[in-house]
Amino acid sequence: MTIMQLQIPDEVAETIRREGLLTSDGLTELLREAIRSRAFDRIAAFAAETETHGIPEMTTEEIQAEIDALRA
């Protein structure tokens, strides 16, 4: 377990406190959501770039094969 000490503006702390997120579990949830959001943004940017360069879309089966290969 990593222990972190953060300095954030009071108004931000108050907002997340009101939302019930100024706890370890709440902040963990916020960070996980931010990670997912950034990953989605990277995927969307990659998709836009491949379309710009005329690279054909991969099928679901091709994507799964790539995932399986990376996990192996």
Whole-prediction pTM: 0.61
Q: What is the pLDDT of residue 51?
A: 82
Query: Would the pLDDT of 14 be above 90?
Result: yes
Q: Where are the domains of the chain?
A: 26-71
CA distance 16 to 22: 6
Q: How confident is the model at residue 10 (pLDDT cuts 50, 70, 90)?
A: very high
CA distance 35 to 52: 26
Q: What is the pLDDT of residue 55?
A: 85
Check if the beta carbon of residue 45 is closer than 8 Å to that of residue 53. Answer: no
Q: What is the pLDDT of residue 27?
A: 92
Q: How confident is the model at residue 17 (pLDDT cuts 50, 70, 90)?
A: very high
Check if the beta carbon of residue 18 is closer than 8 Å to that of residue 10. Answer: no
